[in-house]
Structure 1
Amino acid sequence: MQIKYSLGHAIPELVIDAFDLRQQVFTHEQGFPADIDVDEYDNSALHVVLYLNEHPVAVLRCLLFKDTGLVKVGRVAVQKRHRGKGLGRELMKFVEQYAQQHHFKTIGLSAQHTAIEFYRTLGYQTVGEMYDEDGMDHIYMTLAIEQ
């Protein structure tokens, strides 16, 4: 297992792997429109991809807000055949370490209703009420980063 990351499009091959994985999960599997997956935030986002035997199998992206100390995690996806193996947990641990090393204060994310318990096991707390995002129930969750 290897985790690689790229800030913006610094490593084009990694970003292509990230976009391909996101399309597999969000567009083909979950039915979200392809045109909402890639957006203007991808140009400056931190793209994180987990590889098994040099094959990309899990991904997420982070928007980094230094001024407020927030890392906003999104686009978390694990290939269906690799779910339940702790790969999503490894990606989230990586983000926590990255946030701590770069002196961020909080990690926030918009969790699909089916993933709330997963994030709770990692220490995330729900904030506010459930809301609809692109036709699916989500809730905002945060994790305070210890320095």
Structure 2
Amino acid sequence: MIQIKEIPSKETYIVRQPVLRKGKPIESCIFEGDDLDTTHHFGLFDNENLTGIISLFKQINTTFAEKNQAQIRGMAVLETHQKKGFGEALVKYCEEYCIEENVDLIWFNARTAAVGFYKKMNYQTIGEAFDIKDVGEHSLMFKKL
């Protein structure tokens, strides 16, 4: 059985590290703003085991005119559980949460390898791909709600 619920930032590290920061110290899994009151972390549990995570930050990107924006960061599903719709479930959960909170636009920096995944959910790229030091090539993506 799959369940998505809010979790503390520290609980995200056990998924962030092997998926997003492989071979790097656990400290690299701590993101600026993780513990702000306006930041929310959601975990996807498969039979009570945390297998996927997504974090939602109240963050304005000046590329967009919308006043109420949210940034997705640290979206990850354990390798053993990928290609099962869990990532899509996490993104949709965030979208529904954002709609309830009157957020106008979701944006994020997507790894190049994940751009196709997000395009299937109607996210669009804007601008050129760019490199994030020690992480790799990314594209800015967004969706108006």
Q: How far did residue 21 of structure 1 move?
A: 1.2
Contact 2:104-2:144 within 8 A present in 1 as well: yes
- Within 5 Å, which residues of 2 pair with 1:1-147? 1-6=2-7, 14-28=8-22, 31-32=23-24, 34-44=26-36, 45-65=39-59, 68-135=67-134, 136-145=136-145
Q: Identity rate of aligned residues, in percent?
A: 27
For residue 102 of structure 2, give the secondary structure of its aligned residue in structure 1. Answer: coil
For residue 34 of structure 2, give the secondary structure of its aligned residue in structure 1. Answer: helix
Q: Which runs of 5+ in 1 are unaligned?
A: 7-13
The 1-side partners of 2:21 and 2:91 are apart by 22
Q: How far did residue 4 of structure 1 move?
A: 0.5
* Residue type of the alignment partner of 2:114: A
Q: Which runs of 5+ in 2 are unaligned?
A: 61-65
RMSD: 1.8
The count of residues paired between Structure 1 and Structure 2 equals 136
Compare the two structures and name the one with the higher helix fraction.
1
The 2-side partners of 1:25 and 1:98 are apart by 24
The structure 1 segments of at least 4 consecutive aligned residues displaced by more than 6 Å after TM superposition are none
TM-score, scaled to structure 2 = 0.86
Please identify, of 37-46 and 106-115, the stretch whose mean Cα deviation from structure 2 is larger: 37-46
